[in-house]
């Protein structure tokens, strides 16, 4: 990528207060972007990300919203639709809590689906008209290796939602590639973030390491680097791709 190739581009990143979202915000900021840092309840962490974005030469703002509910999603979409978003990174997601299939409730299933899939669709719907009018833009969805292997025990709804997100990526690309918009996804393997500190045991993570040819977990900056590539002119002929980034844990 050329130096500062995202200079003054408006980038919206959901779930940007920590983990992959945080690393992606910092990476875009270092490339001169205006980064809209979405968060739900980690305001102090989001503010720290914004401070680092600005100090690295970028600009930005904070945007709060609860994407695990339809009311929160609608409210955020109304705001986002007024912004000149050039790049949307649908990163927000969580399995909420590990839950065996027979213990799932309708409410929990809906919450997982809205957070990981439905909100991503409607945020894309909110920004795409502006991209179409400019005949340029990029949507990058953050899927998961769980979409390919069904996820661990207790993560079925999350894995199902992420599989839907991967499929949605392909459908959006078919419709909007002719209008000059790049739509792709990155599918991380197990990344060393707060997410896995919360939802995965030491034994689970050790098992992943042993099954990964590189012998370690991924890092958030490694995933962020792929996201920046997918948003860049270097990936202009890539459409509808779900790029697996997992150290060889799963090979297509």
Residues belonging to the active site: 158
Give the count of beta carbons closer than 10 Å to the beta carbon of residue 171. Answer: 12
Q: At 179, is the secondary structure helix, strand, or coil?
A: helix
Q: At 183, is the secondary structure helix, strand, or coil?
A: strand
Tokens of 246: 């997992």
Distance CA 236, CA 195 (A): 31
Strand ranges across the sheet with 59-64: 59-64, 34-39, 10-13, 87-90, 137-142, 181-188, 242-245
Question: Among 230, 212, 201, 118, which residue's Cα sits nearest to residue 164?
Answer: 118
């Amino acid at each position: 990528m050329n130096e500062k190739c995202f200079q003054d581009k408006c980038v919206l990143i959901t779930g940007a207060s920590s983990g992959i979202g945080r690393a992606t915000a910092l990476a875009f900021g270092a490339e001169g972007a205006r980064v809209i840092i979405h968060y739900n309840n980690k305001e102090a962490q989001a503010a720290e990300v914004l401070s680092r974005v600005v100090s690295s030469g970028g600009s930005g703002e904070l945007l709060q919203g609860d994407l695990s509910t339809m009311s929160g999603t609608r409210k955020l979409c109304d705001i986002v639709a007024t912004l000149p978003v050039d790049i949307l990174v649908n990163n927000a997601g969580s399995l909420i809590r590990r839950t065996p299939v027979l213990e799932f409730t309708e409410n929990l299933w809906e919450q997982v689906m809205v957070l990981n899939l439905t909100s991503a669709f409607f945020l894309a719907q909110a920004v795409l008209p502006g991209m179409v009018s400019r005949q340029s833009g990029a949507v990058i969805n953050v899927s998961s290796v769980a979409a390919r292997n069904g996820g661990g025990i207790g993560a079925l709804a999350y894995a199902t939602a992420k599989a839907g997100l991967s499929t949605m990526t392909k459908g959006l690309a078919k419709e909007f590639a002719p209008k000059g918009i790049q739509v792709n996804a990155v599918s991380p393997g197990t990344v060393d973030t707060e997410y896995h500190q919360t939802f995965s045991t030491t034994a689970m993570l050790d098992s992943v390491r042993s099954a990964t040819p590189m012998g370690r977990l991924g890092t958030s900056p490694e995933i962020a680097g792929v996201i920046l590539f997918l948003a860049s002119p270097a990936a202009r002929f890539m459409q509808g791709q779900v790029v697996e980034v997992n150290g060889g844990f799963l090979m297509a």
